Amino acid sequence: MTIRKPDRPIAVTRSALPPLEEYVEMLKPLWESAWLTNMGDYHERFKKQLKERLQTENLELFVNGHAALELTLQAMELTGEVITTPYSFASTTHAIVRNGLTPVFCDIDPADYTLDAEKLEDLITERTSAIVPVHVYGNPCDVDRIAEIAQKHHLKVIYDAAHAFAEEIGGRGIGQFGDASMFSFHATKVFHSIEGGAVSFRNPTLAPILYQIKNFGITGYETVGYVGANGKMNEFQAAMGICNLRHVDESIAVRKTLAARYRERLSDIKGIRLCPERPDVKYNYAYMPVVFDGYRKNRDQVFAELAACDIHARKYFYPCINAYDCYRDRFDENDTPIARRISRQVLTLPLYPELSMEIVDLICDIILS
């Protein structure tokens, strides 16, 4: 088979943008009011629209997803140990550590790469205060089992839902599960506000605390009650979020079509594994992870073959967090062998609405040739 290179480099993702004139029109009022940040009109409009979209009564906006997670953990006044997964982006564990908490790594389910709920209880000690699971690639965690264990041991559950915007489980918005869920609106996500993030949460008494902590801990005109941070979303971000919210359903529909083509071409191939899809889940098709397990070429070889054709897939997530240089002296990745193995076998393939079906077929041709 003769493999042709694409006309231009193909990245693993591409930021979705609304029509330029639509965003420019949104900016005109900012030049009239000169109110650029500090919870202005667009901030409040965006917040209201997200509550409706994510099916949550309580939500707070942040400058980015990491700030949203880190400051939520602070607001909950957690102590001691927090059980989480090593198979995630750096932010998940960094948010725990930067709060003075000790991460305890639980291994993952080999089918969908989320935290293995059946291994949770063995890790719970008298010092455990919370669980921070991750909906990896938009694959929902075992929310029912995690809730059962958390209730039994009186633990908080804060989901890292950075990959799971607009997803549903059994018709319920994914942000309704646990005590809180963090969403990332980074430019590479299915839905973005350039940078940005949000937290949906169950207990409404958390609302003023989150609001104050993200605004330097200011509690009154002349009072500062918390050691807070500057976690505020500005008006330019909120305007982009409002624009992109109008187009996100169309974007997800295109992603679904492209993902279906990948599945059509790569399913039932010996040595290639794709994530199973649950019938009760409404997915956003954020990522296209492929695991090479016993295939005739390993992950790194496939990665190199694609790169040679100017197609840039991503080893996402590699390495595991408990193998990072900054954590290597404290943790051992061999304690989570499934996460370690998957991290060495996984490749996320290009997936974004502007990607053509021809390029999807080309990527599959390269993998299968």
For residue 292, the cross-strand partners are 272
Residues 3/366, Cβ–Cβ less than 8 Å: yes
The pTM of this model reads 0.97
Residue among 164, 155, 133 nearest 284 (CA): 164
What are 203-260's pLDDT values in tens digits?
Answer: 999 999 999 999 999 999 999 999 999 999 999 999 999 999 999 999 999 999 999 9
Q: Is CATH 3.40.640.10 the classification given to domain 20-245?
A: yes
Give 312's contacts (C-beta < 8 A, 6+ positions apart). 9, 10, 11, 12, 306, 350
**Structural domain boundaries in the chain:** 20-245, 248-368
Strands, E assignment, 96-193: 102-105, 128-132, 156-160, 168-169, 172-173, 180-184
Residue among 69, 70, 155 nearest 120 (CA): 155
What are 41-94's pLDDT values in tens digits?
Answer: 999 999 999 999 999 999 999 999 999 999 999 999 999 999 999 999 999 999
Look at residue 119 and tell me whether its pLDDT is greater than 80: yes
Give the per-residue pLDDT at 3: 74
Phi-psi region of 217 (alpha: psi -120 to 50; beta: other; left: phi over 0): left
CATH class entry, domain 248-368: alpha beta
What are 159-192's pLDDT values in tens digits?
Answer: 999 999 999 999 999 999 999 999 999 999 999 9
Confidence of residue 7 (pLDDT cuts 50, 70, 90): confident
Residues 287/137, Cβ–Cβ less than 8 Å: yes
Give me the half-sphere count of Cα atoms (radius 13 Å) on the Cβ side of residue 323.
16
